[in-house]
Structure 1
C-alpha cells in the first residue's frame, strides 16, 4: 500500500502540476494568438483606409500646385510657373489609381463612383488648363479675369467632389473601426473566460496535490522559516523520503545556524575592509588616512588603547600620528622607542607581535605599547619592503587578540600602509614636478596653478596682492667669464637671499634663466616696493664669490613691481606690468626697483 501511495504521489505531481501548467500555457498561447491575429487584421484595415484618405489629400495637393502654377503663367507669361504644374500633372492619375487599388470588393460600389466623379472633375479642369496655356502662348490674354473665373469655377467643382469623397470615407472608417473594436472586445471576453476557466481548473488540481501530498513538505518549510524543530510527517499519506529528510534536517539545522553566523560576520568584515580599501585609495592627506584607520580598528576590534607611529621620509625616528592630540604624555624622553625604532621588536623584525598576557615573560619592555595588564598587538606597517611605521593595539582582557582578530587587523594595517606609501610617493612626485631642478624653488608650472588661486583669494577678501619680477644684472657676463658652473652657484646664492627675505606666505618662482618672480599676498604697492628695495640692498651687499671662484664676483639685480588692482586683475596683466617695470629698471641703469605705471585699462 505504501508503494502504491508513493507511485500515486509521483503521478499526482506529474498530472496535477505539470498538466495544469501545460494547459495554462496552451490556453494562453491560443487566446493570445487569436487576439493578435484579430488586432493585426483590424490594424491593417485601419491603415488601408488611412492610405485611401492620404491619396485623396495628395491628389488635392497636386491640383493646388497645378492651379497655382497655371495662375502664375496666365498672369505673367513666365514659363517657370509651369514647372509645378507639369511636375504635379502626371501624379493625378497615380493618386486615382492608388485609391481605386486600395478599395476592397465591398467598398467599390460605394466609393468607385465618388472617385470616378473626382477624376472626371480633375480631367475637366486640366482640359481647360491646356486650352488656357495654348491661348497664353499665342500672346497676352485680353480678358484674364474671365479665364481665371472659369478655371476657379471648375476647381471649386473638384473641391466639392473631394469633400463628398472625404465625408464618405470618414463615415465608412468610423463604421469599420467601430465594428472591428466590437469584434476585438468580444474576443477579449472569450479569451478571458477561457483563461479564467483554465486557471481555476489548474488551481483546483494544484490545491488537491498540495493538500494530499505536499502538506508534509509545507510543514518542514514552515519550521525552517520559523527556525523551529523540523516535525515528522503527519496525515494519511506518509512518505518515507520526507521522514528521512526531516530527521536529517534536524541534525543539520544546528550546524547551519552556526555557519550562517560565521559567514555573516565574514561578509560584514570583507565588505567593511573592501570599503576601507576603496576609500583609502582616494585619500590625499596622511592625517585623513590616520583618522580613518583608527576609526576602523576601533570599530572592528574595540581596543582600550590605540597608537599609530610613523617614520617621516628622511627621518629615522618615529612620530605619533594617532592619537592626534597626544600632548606631552608621549614625549620622546619618556618613550625611547620614538627616537630609536630599532629597539621595537615589531619594527626590527617586520613581523606582528601578539602577546596574550602583558605580564608574560615574552612581553616587550616598551612602556608605550605594553599595558599594565591585559593583552596587546603590535603590527608593523610595511610598504615596498620597508617598515614605515607601527600600529599598537591594547586590550584590558587577556587573550583578546585571537588569530582571527590578528588577521583582520593585519588586513586593515596592510591596506593603510600601501595607501600611505602611495600618498607619500604622489606628494614627492608632485613636489618634484613643481620645483626647479637647480635652485629648488618653484617653477612656472607651480605658478600657473598658484597664481589664479591667490588672485581669487585676494578678490574674495578684498586684500592686495603684489608681483615682483627680478633679474640679475650682467649675469650673462658672469657666465661667459667664470663658466656655467659658477653661474649656477650664483643663482643658488641669489635664491637663498630671496628665501631669507621672504615671508612664509610669499612664493619664489624661477621664471626663466636668471629671471625670478615672487608672489606677495597681503602686500600693497608701497609694501611691495619697500620689500623689493630690501632684496636689492641685500644682493648689493652680498659677495657672490665662493670657494674656487674669484672674490671679484659682485652682481646686482633689477626689480619690477606690480600690484592688484592698480596694474591689473589677471595673472597675465600683473606679470606683464611687472615685466615692463623690470625693463624700465634695466633701461634706467639697472640695480634699481621700478613700480609699474598705473593704466586706465588695467584688468
Structure 2
C-alpha cells in the first residue's frame, strides 16, 4: 500500500514537467515553422530582385544597342536591342505572375504598381525614343543626333531606374519586416523556454521537498544541522527529532540558501555577459580603427563606417557629417538606422558653436536648428584643434539614449575624428603631389603615370587611346608685354577651358610652362581631333583683358596622336603628339595637326 501511494505521488509530481515539456516542444515547433516560412519568403524576394535586375539589364542592353546604332549606323549594334525587346514582355509577365502567386495580396500592391510603371516607361521609351531614333538614324546622323540632344531618352531611363530602385526598396523593406517578426518570435520562444526551465527547476525542488516531508516526518536533526550550517559552522551533527514545524524551518532555510545562490549565480552570469559584450565591442572598435587607417579616401571610409556604426551603436539611428572644402556646409558622410542624410549649415549646430557634446535640449538651451528636437546626442568631431564635423544620433523609436550608448558614442567619435583628420591630410598631400598649383590640373608626374597605365589597359582591351598636346602661341611675348600675372591669368583660363571641354574620363594636365595635355581613353584619333578643334576655336574666340588692358588675340597650336601603327608605348605616343604640335607651330600656329600629317582625317585652320 505504501509503495502504491509513493508511486502515485511520484507520477503526479512528474506530470507538470511533462506538460511543460510538451508546451516547450510545441512552441519550438511553431517558431521553427514560422522561421522556415520567413526564410522561404526571403528566398522568393531575392529571386524577384534578381528578375528585376535582369529586366534592368535588358533595358541597359536596349539603350546600349540603340546608342551604338545611332553612333555607328551599323545594324549589327541593334542586335542587343532587338533581343532585349523580345525578352522583356516575358520577363515582366513572369515577375508579375510570381508576385501574385507568392506575395501577400496587400504586400504585392506597391511592387506591382512600381513594376507596371516600369513596364509602361519602357514601352514609352521604345515608342517615343528608340523607334524614332532608329528611323532618324536611317535618314542620317544629324537627324538622329538632334533626337539624342533632346534628352527625352535620358529622362525616361532615369525614371525607369527610379522605379526599379523604389521596387527593390519596397521589397527589401517587406523582407526586413518579415525577418524582424521572425526574430522577435524566436526571442519570444527563448524567453518561454527559459521560463519553462525555471519552472521545471523550481517545481523539482518543491516536489523533492514535499516528497521528503511525506517520507520522513522526523527531520529535527537535519533542521538543526541546516541552521548551524547557515550560521557558519563547518561541522554539524544531526540529532533525530520529530516535528512538523522543524520540517517547515528546514524548507525555509534551504529555499533561502538556494535563492541566494541562484541570485549570486545570475549576477555573476550577467557580469560575465556584460564583460564579454564589452570585449567584443572594444575589438570591433579596434578593427574599425585599423580599417580606417587603411582607407585612402573619404569614400572608402564611408563604406567602412556604414557597416561599423550600426554594429558599434546598436539600437540607434544617426548621421555622420563633415565639413566641405569651403567649410560652409556640413555634408553627410554616412547615415544608418533610417536617419535622414541631408546637408546643413555649421552655424545651425549648437554643438559646434559651443564646442561640446549636446543632448536633449534643457531648460535654458534653445531648440536645435536641424534634425530631431529632443532625445538626441550631437558630438562635435575635433582633431588637433580642427573642427571636422559632427556625429549625431538618437535611439530608434524615440526613447532616451542610455548612458552606455552615450559613452560608446564618445569613443566612436574620437576614432572617427582621428580617421577624418588623417584622410584630409592624406588627400591634401596627394593633391599637392599630383596637381598643378596654378591651374588645378594634373602635373607632369601624374600624367606620365596615368599614360603608362592607360596604354597598357588600352592594349589589353583593344580600345583606342589618344593624346592631345597644346601650347599657347607667343606666350613669352605675352609675358614680356603684359607681365607674368597676365600670363598666369591666361594659363588659369586655359586650365578651366580644358576641364570644361574634356569628356569623362579624360585627364587634363599641365606638364609645364604654357604646355597642356589631354589624355583621352576610349577615344579614337578622329574624336580627339574634333575635341582639339573645338578647344582651338574657343580659345581663338577669347577677348581677354588684364588690368583694363586688352591682351590681344590668344591662340593655341595643337598636336594630336593616337595608339596605332608605330605608336605602341606611352613615350611613343607623347613623342608623336609633340611632333604634331611642333608641326602646327612650324606651319603657322593656331591650328590642329594629327600625328600623321598626311592623314585624311586631318583638321586644321588658317592662322588668325
Aligned counterparts of 2:344 and 2:298: Cα–Cα separation in 1: 21
Aligned to 1:407: 407
In structure 2, the residue corresponding to 1:299 is in which secondary structure?
helix
Aligned to 2:87: none
Aligned to 1:270: 282
1:365 and 2:370 aligned: no
Aligned counterparts of 2:402 and 2:498: Cα–Cα separation in 1: 58
What per-residue deviation string (whole Å, max 9, x for no partner) do you get for residues 247-276 of structure 1?
A: xxx999768666645543443332222222
Aligned to 2:348: 343
Aligned to 1:54: none
Give the superposition deviation at 1:531. 1.9
Aligned counterparts of 1:488 and 1:363: Cα–Cα separation in 2: 51
Give the superposition deviation at 1:287. 3.3
1:468 and 2:468 aligned: yes
* CA shift in 2, pair 1:555/1:405, >3 Å: closer
Alignment of 1:108-123 (within 5 A): none
Aligned counterparts of 1:593 and 1:546: Cα–Cα separation in 2: 27
Give the superposition deviation at 1:386. 3.1
Aligned counterparts of 1:326 and 1:403: Cα–Cα separation in 2: 22
Aligned counterparts of 1:304 and 1:408: Cα–Cα separation in 2: 12
**TM-score normalised to structure 2 length:** 0.50
Give the superposition deviation at 1:470. 0.8
Aligned to 1:482: 482
What per-residue deviation string (whole Å, max 9, x for no partner) do you get for residues 525-570 of structure 1?
A: 1122222222222222223442244x25323321111001245121
Give the superposition deviation at 1:468. 1.0
1:543 and 2:543 aligned: yes
Aligned to 1:519: 519
Aligned counterparts of 1:362 and 1:265: Cα–Cα separation in 2: 37
Determine if contact 2:291/2:304 at 8 Å carries over to the other structure.
Answer: no
Aligned counterparts of 1:472 and 1:362: Cα–Cα separation in 2: 64
1:595 and 2:579 aligned: no
In structure 1, the residue corresponding to 2:308 is in which secondary structure?
helix
Aligned counterparts of 1:273 and 1:494: Cα–Cα separation in 2: 48
Determine if contact 2:479/2:487 at 8 Å carries over to the other structure.
Answer: yes
1:569 and 2:568 aligned: yes
Aligned counterparts of 1:540 and 1:325: Cα–Cα separation in 2: 55
Aligned counterparts of 1:522 and 1:272: Cα–Cα separation in 2: 43
Determine if contact 2:357/2:378 at 8 Å carries over to the other structure.
Answer: yes
What per-residue deviation string (whole Å, max 9, x for no partner) do you get for residues 305-355 of structure 1?
A: 22222221213222233338989x666xxxxxx443333222221222233
Aligned to 1:297: 309
Alignment of 1:149-160 (within 5 A): none
1:554 and 2:553 aligned: yes
Aligned counterparts of 2:479 and 2:413: Cα–Cα separation in 1: 54
Determine if contact 1:567/1:597 at 8 Å carries over to the other structure.
Answer: no
1:321 and 2:333 aligned: yes
In structure 1, the residue corresponding to 2:477 is in which secondary structure?
helix
Q: Which has more radius of gyration?
A: 1
Q: Which has the higher contact order (CA 8 A, sep 6+)?
A: 1
* CA shift in 2, pair 1:290/1:589, >3 Å: closer
Aligned to 1:286: 298
Aligned counterparts of 2:414 and 2:551: Cα–Cα separation in 1: 59
Aligned to 1:142: none
Q: Which residue of 351, 358, 361 corresponds with 1:353?
A: 358
In structure 2, the residue corresponding to 1:323 is in which secondary structure?
strand
Aligned to 2:82: none
Aligned counterparts of 2:302 and 2:426: Cα–Cα separation in 1: 17
Determine if contact 1:371/1:394 at 8 Å carries over to the other structure.
Answer: no
* CA shift in 2, pair 1:413/1:503, >3 Å: same
Determine if contact 1:470/1:517 at 8 Å carries over to the other structure.
Answer: yes
Give the superposition deviation at 1:233. 7.2
* CA shift in 2, pair 1:442/1:291, >3 Å: closer
* CA shift in 2, pair 1:435/1:330, >3 Å: closer
* CA shift in 2, pair 1:252/1:444, >3 Å: same
* CA shift in 2, pair 1:368/1:298, >3 Å: farther
What per-residue deviation string (whole Å, max 9, x for no partner) do you get for residues 215-265 of structure 1?
A: xxxxxxxxxxxxxx9x99789xxxxxxxxxxxxxx9997686666455434
Determine if contact 2:284/2:312 at 8 Å carries over to the other structure.
Answer: no
Aligned to 1:309: 321
**TM-score normalised to structure 1 length:** 0.51
* CA shift in 2, pair 1:534/1:505, >3 Å: same
Aligned to 2:205: none
Aligned to 2:495: 495
What per-residue deviation string (whole Å, max 9, x for no partner) do you get for residues 114-133 of structure 1?
A: xxxxxxxxxxxxxxxxxxxx
Determine if contact 1:294/1:306 at 8 Å carries over to the other structure.
Answer: no
Give the superposition deviation at 1:444. 0.5
What per-residue deviation string (whole Å, max 9, x for no partner) do you get for residues 72-92 of structure 1?
A: xxxxxxxxxxxxxxxxxxxxx
In structure 2, the residue corresponding to 1:466 is in which secondary structure?
strand
Determine if contact 2:349/2:369 at 8 Å carries over to the other structure.
Answer: no
- Structure 2: which 5+ runs fail to align? 1-229, 237-260, 599-608
Give the superposition deviation at 1:282. 0.9
Aligned to 1:151: none
In structure 2, the residue corresponding to 1:442 is in which secondary structure?
coil
Aligned counterparts of 1:490 and 1:397: Cα–Cα separation in 2: 58
Deviates more, 1:502-511 or 1:464-473: 502-511
Determine if contact 1:293/1:413 at 8 Å carries over to the other structure.
Answer: no
Aligned to 1:531: 531
Aligned counterparts of 2:467 and 2:538: Cα–Cα separation in 1: 19
Alignment of 1:234-253 (within 5 A): none
* CA shift in 2, pair 1:494/1:400, >3 Å: closer
- Structure 1: which 5+ runs fail to align? 1-228, 236-249, 332-337
Give the superposition deviation at 1:432. 2.0
Aligned counterparts of 2:546 and 2:412: Cα–Cα separation in 1: 53
Aligned to 2:209: none
Aligned counterparts of 1:422 and 1:471: Cα–Cα separation in 2: 38
What per-residue deviation string (whole Å, max 9, x for no partner) do you get for residues 276-320 of structure 1?
A: 212211112323323433433322332342222222121322223
